[in-house]
Amino acid sequence: QVQLQESGPGLVKPSETLSLTCAVSGYSISSGYSWGWIRQPPGKGLEWIGTIYHSGSTDYNPSLKSRVTISVDTSKNQFSLKLSSVTAADTAVYYCARTLTIFRNGWFDPWGQGTLVTVSS
């Protein structure tokens, strides 16, 4: 079955760029589906960050759009998140997830286990 695993630095300095990778196993990314990122600040709810569709196009949450880039590397069967100019408000558990879509409307299944990223100097 499809499994996802996030990786990347657990600590990022303010104003720097957060970079995370999601490795996909059990399925070839190039075969289809869309892929997304969601985050959850400690003790709080979930926030959709963005999704990259099978076509290669992307949708981002407007609240983060100016700072977010999601890309796919089919040769490594993984996709990535970059979030620039981070502040303490970006401290959260970051999840990657397969996005099941009807046109450009999507829900998430399955999810990676999540990785905590702390923004601090």
Partner 1 sequence: EIVLTQSPGTLSLSPGERATLSCRASQSVSSNYVAWYQQKPGQAPRLLIYGASSRATGIPDRFSGSGSGTDFTLTISRLEPEDFAVYYCQQYGSSPWTFGQGTKVEIK
Minimal distance, residue 94 CB to partner 1, in Å: 11
**Which residue number, 75 or 102, has a Cβ lying nearer to partner 1?**
102
Q: What is the DSSP letter of 101?
A: E
Alpha carbon distances (Å) from 35 to 2, 15, 41, 42: 12, 26, 21, 23
**Which residue number, 37 or 72, has a Cβ lying nearer to partner 1?**
37
Contact residues for partner 1, defined by CB under 8 A: 45-48, 59, 61-63, 95, 100, 102, 104-114
Minimal distance, residue 16 CB to partner 1, in Å: 25
**Which residue number, 89 or 102, has a Cβ lying nearer to partner 1?**
102
Hey, CA dihedral for 67, 49, 73, 83, is it positive or negative? positive
Residue 8: CB partners within 8 Å, gap ≥ 6? 18, 19, 20, 21, 115, 117
**Which residue number, 3 or 28, has a Cβ lying nearer to partner 1?**
3
Minimal distance, residue 13 CB to partner 1, in Å: 26
Q: What is the DSSP letter of 56?
A: S
Hey, CA dihedral for 118, 49, 5, 57, is it positive or negative? negative
Minimal distance, residue 6 CB to partner 1, in Å: 10
